[in-house]
Amino acid sequence: MADHLGRLELLDYVRRSLDMALALMHPDFSVVTSFSRRGDSAARVVPHLLAESFFDMSQRDLNGVYATVADTLVEDGYDRELSLAFIMPFLTKSEYLTQQVTREPIPESINVAFQDSRVWRLREGVLSATAAAGSTNPLAVRYGDAELTSVRVCGSYYNSGQFSADVFEPVLSAGGDVTGVRLFHKGELRMLRCNDLPLGRSVPWGVEAFNAANKVRDHVFLPPIDVSLDIDRADSGFDLRVRTECEMDRITFQIEFCFRGPGQWENDGQVIGVTDGQTAILKKGYGLFHTDSYGFRIGPGAEAHRMWQMRAAQAGPGFRVLITLEAPVDHRFDISYGVWSIAMNELITV
């Protein structure tokens, strides 16, 4: 459009899109799918076809970072049947055949909050973390080959307690860096109709008659439940706090940590090999999940109930660790990441 309409200012939107795409890539150049609502959720997807756009804009702007991204995407074993898509820049701009752009390294650190998309992306070295509103997976963290695919919060409360933030508020330092986010789940936006009340008269048989009666029938409504999740950057990890506000109490809640297996799980003097599909409850203290190279420490735990598959909860596909709670909830917990030392049998945080 920029070329055909002679409106080169439209390329600013292309640059912004590519910058966001780069921020949404893990260190291995697969794209973030933790908050996706499609079939690729939690899958490894490399956006090979973006190589064409990165290359085109690298030539237009003499942008060495874009050129490096394009090279890497092409080298990552793309489907060669799709390679015809890469011909277009050379057909439209013959100078690309000879023009050389000096490659520049990709920034090692990315820390940006996309306010409109309601996503916070943090990438430093082998660390890649994503916090998002509008998703039942508000936080996912990778560190090396250890992957915490999801941190979910859920309450069993008439299908309205599965945490999905409606409000996204970045927390900024004095220097303007993003240090955390405040996520808020508004109960008033969820339907909480509990029971239908009788009309006091007979209703004719049939779907149409029932639907007509239901429009004038009184209903019992439950009070809404609000849930907040604060995520703050800490040394070698994150500090989190989940809180609830509701007129009703003793609502069962859980915090679910889902790790991509296989790996090892350790706490309270035991070590077990774990894989996807298994579930553990962290009753107290801290637990550690690790591969042979990297790992996470989470806690402190709590045990208010022993529901392995709590009603209304979306279970992650990996090895699940639950912290079980009961409303009113005000639970602080933290996540640390580091290098697993086989020699010392401990997690070394940086």
Residue ending a domain, among 97, 123, 149, is 97
Q: Which domain holds residue 330?
A: 109-186+224-348
The stretch 61-89 carries a mean pLDDT of: 81
Q: Are residues 242 and 217 in the same domain?
A: no
Classify residue 273 by burial, with Cβ atoms within 10 Å: 0-12, 13-18, 19+.
exposed
pLDDT higher than threshold 90 for residue 139: yes
Q: What is the 3-state secondary structure (H, E, C) of 10-54?
A: HHHHHHHHHHHHHHCECCCCCECCCCCCCCCCCCCCCCCCHHHHH
State both tokens at 274. 């774990």
Q: Are residues 76 and 119 in the same domain?
A: no
Please write the tens of the pLDDT for every residue from 316-342.
789 999 999 999 999 999 999 999 999
If you ran DSSP here, which 8-state letter would residue 116 be given?
T
Classify residue 322 by burial, with Cβ atoms within 10 Å: 0-12, 13-18, 19+.
buried
Q: Are residues 11 and 130 in the same domain?
A: no
Highest mean pLDDT among 91-95, 210-214, 326-330: 326-330
Residue of higher predicted confidence among 231 and 48: 231
What CATH number corresponds to the domain at position 141?
Answer: 2.70.98
State both tokens at 243. 């809180």
* Average pLDDT of every residue of the chain: 92
Q: How many CA atoms lie within 13 A of 64 on its CB side?
A: 6
pLDDT on residue 83: 67
Residue of higher predicted confidence among 339 and 79: 339
If you ran DSSP here, which 8-state letter would residue 247 be given?
S
197, 218 contact by CB (below 8 A): yes
Q: Are residues 16 and 52 in the same domain?
A: yes
78 band by pLDDT with thresholds 50, 70 and 90: low
If you ran DSSP here, which 8-state letter would residue 86 be given?
G
Question: Which of these, 316, 313, 37, 306, lies nearest to 159 by C-alpha position?
Answer: 313
* Minimum mean pLDDT range among 5-14, 18-27, 193-202, 230-239: 193-202
pLDDT over 70, % of the chain: 97
The stretch 221-231 carries a mean pLDDT of: 93
Question: Is residue 103 one of the residues assigned to a domain?
Answer: no
pLDDT higher than threshold 90 for residue 269: no
State both tokens at 257. 């940590």
Q: Are residues 87 and 144 in the same domain?
A: no
pLDDT on residue 182: 98
Residue 276 vs residues 149, 270, 316, 337: alpha-carbon distances, Å: 11, 19, 9, 20
295 band by pLDDT with thresholds 50, 70 and 90: very high
The stretch 260-287 carries a mean pLDDT of: 95
Domain count across the chain: 3
Highest mean pLDDT among 44-53, 73-82, 90-99: 44-53
Q: Are residues 315 and 271 in the same domain?
A: yes
The stretch 55-78 carries a mean pLDDT of: 89
pLDDT higher than threshold 70 for residue 14: yes
pLDDT higher than threshold 80 for residue 39: no
Q: Are residues 230 and 309 in the same domain?
A: yes
Question: Is residue 249 one of the residues assigned to a domain?
Answer: yes
43 band by pLDDT with thresholds 50, 70 and 90: confident
Q: Are residues 138 and 277 in the same domain?
A: yes
219, 188 contact by CB (below 8 A): no
Q: Are residues 156 and 40 in the same domain?
A: no
Residue ending a domain, among 68, 97, 126, is 97
Question: Is residue 102 one of the residues assigned to a domain?
Answer: no
Q: Are residues 288 and 178 in the same domain?
A: yes
State both tokens at 9. 């200012």
The stretch 285-312 carries a mean pLDDT of: 95
pLDDT higher than threshold 70 for residue 79: no
pLDDT on residue 92: 80
Question: Is residue 339 one of the residues assigned to a domain?
Answer: yes
- Please, what's the b/e burial string for 163-184 (b: 16 or more CB within 10 A of its CB; e: otherwise)? bbbbebbbbeeeeeebbbbbbb
pTM above 0.75, yes or no: yes
pLDDT on residue 134: 95
